[in-house]
Amino acid sequence: MCAPQEQRSLCWRESAQLIFLCRGGSVVIVGSVAGFTRFPSLGPYNVSKTALLGLTKNFAAELAPKNIRVNCLAPGLIKTRFSSVLWEEKAREDFIKEAMQIRRLGKPEDCAGIVSFLCSEDASYINGETVVVGGGTPSRL
């Protein structure tokens, strides 16, 4: 049985072959600021997101000769169903906002333009990078 990261690696190799057949392209891995910052009680999640940062660097180097760019989006706290446990209660949401430089939670739209840019020709010289959309959440290893 494969570990989740091994399964992702196998999936990426197959996906890369399809992109290569199209003469190149761009892949955006969705990570998280949790890959940079410790979040209490989320140890396994934090570690898995840090692994995605490494996979981005690895696949970027491995796939560049095939004209495939690989970058990563690392969103902070984005107001989605997945993160609802962190913002459903107003008091908890207010506490989280106080810890952020930008005193609001992110919206999916905050990430969409970055992904669009990374997939565009305007980003054709960007490879192996992680773009953080985190409202000022600390984001350095």
Which residue numbers are catalytic? 45
Alpha-carbon distance of 128 to 60, in angstroms, equals 5
Helix or strand run (H / E) with residue 132:
strand 130-133
CB 99 within 8 A of CB 134: no
Write down the H helix ranges in the chain: 4-21, 43-63, 84-87, 90-98, 108-119
Closest CA to 131 of 13, 64, 35: 35
Q: For the chain, what's the residue count? A: 141
β partners of residue 30? 73
